[in-house]
Amino acid sequence: MRVRLVAAAAAFLAILATGVARAQADLLPSWNDGPAKARIVGFVQAVTDKGGKDYVAPADRIAVFDNDGTLWSEQPAYFQLLFAIDRVKALAPTHPEWKTKQPFKAVLDGDMKALAASGEKGIAQLVMATHAGMTTDEFARVVKDWLATARHPKLERPYTDLVFQPMLELLDYLRANGFKTYIVSGGGIDFLRVFAEERYGIPPEQVIGSSIRTKYEVRDGKPAIVRLAEIDFIDDKAGKPIGIQKFIGKRPIAAFGNSDGDFQMLEWTTAAPGARLGVIVRHDDAEREFAYDRNSHVGRLARGLDEAPARGWTLVSMKSDWNQVYPTPRR
């Protein structure tokens, strides 16, 4: 009797385990079978196998994701820049001086060539004029309203629809395996936090990004945090490992990026003992998304492409590794 009970229990556990394994494989339905998917799944199995040599305790299962070009699209320009452009247009009536002042004039005239000519300094001016001078609550409301109404110029869908379905699945899959998932983006931390929780399941405290300085102020007994027109931190390139150390204080074991802005983040993550995963998403699908790498003004990928093989980083081809790019439109 006892033996039969034990056998029954073992059979039950086996069914359960098979079910878990099958359920887990099903967590990545938009990924085609191939070396990229196999590498990701193999890594996750290795670090979660309690008896295995590559086992990593759940507290150290930190996975970091770039956002622009890795979790959502970034063409024809970073979506946050498109937000700044829309904001300049919306705020123009209260800024008559912008009609004659660059880079604002370029934006109002729709003259992208003149805007590009204004360079980094011009972009910084745009960002400050549209991202500073209000409280953090006010800024979050402005971003939220914009995301709810704005549409991508070419794809004509809300920007938050232009997230990558396979990456959403990957985030869920990692979390189902005890990973803590972080965004580590060159984009603005407070811009990202508005939609990261709803769209990616990543709460505000797991979003790392570029920031401007803020000031604590009490007006009529009501405290507020006011956004200042001053750069605080640029979370890009060598800034990414620094942001990771600052916010997380632990070295990740998996990193996902798409451009040379993510190079140091992948390097920091993977140049350490133990099982490590570095992944680069390649934009090679002009039909369903965009195709660009070495010569792009946005999301340039050259060094990462050259060094990926020697560094053991996995290249994901949007074209051949993904059977779906964007989520099926919601009704």
Binding site for a second copy (CB under 8 A): 59, 136, 180, 189-190, 193, 203-205, 207, 211, 214-216, 218, 221-223, 225, 238-239, 241-242, 245-250, 264, 267-268, 271
Residue 26 vs 217, nearer CB to a second copy: 217
Please state the closest distance from residue 189 (CB atom) to a second copy, in A.
Answer: 7
Residue 1 vs 218, nearer CB to a second copy: 218
Query: Residue 316: exposed, middle, or buried by beta-carbon count in 10 A (0-12, 13-18, 19+)?
Result: buried
Residue 3 vs 310, nearer CB to a second copy: 310
Please state the closest distance from residue 276 (CB atom) to a second copy, in A.
Answer: 12
Residues paired with residue 279 on neighbouring β-strands, in sequence order: 256, 314
What is the full DSSP assignment across 207-249?
Answer: EEEEEEEEEEEEETTEEEEEEEEEEEE--STTHHHHHHHHHT-
Please state the closest distance from residue 205 (CB atom) to a second copy, in A.
Answer: 5
Residue 118 vs 181, nearer CB to a second copy: 181
Please state the closest distance from residue 239 (CB atom) to a second copy, in A.
Answer: 8
Please state the closest distance from residue 175 (CB atom) to a second copy, in A.
Answer: 14
Largest CA distance in the chain: 90
Residues paired with residue 68 on neighbouring β-strands, in sequence order: 72
Residue 180 vs 283, nearer CB to a second copy: 180
| Token pair in block for residue 43 | 């890594």
CB atoms within 10 A of CB 60: 15
Please state the closest distance from residue 208 (CB atom) to a second copy, in A.
Answer: 9
Which has the closest alpha carbon to 98: 106, 122, 130, 86? 106
3-state helix, strand, coil in the chain (%, to 5): 50, 20, 35
Query: Which single residue is written with the structure tokens 């001078």?
Result: 133
Residue 144 vs 250, nearer CB to a second copy: 250
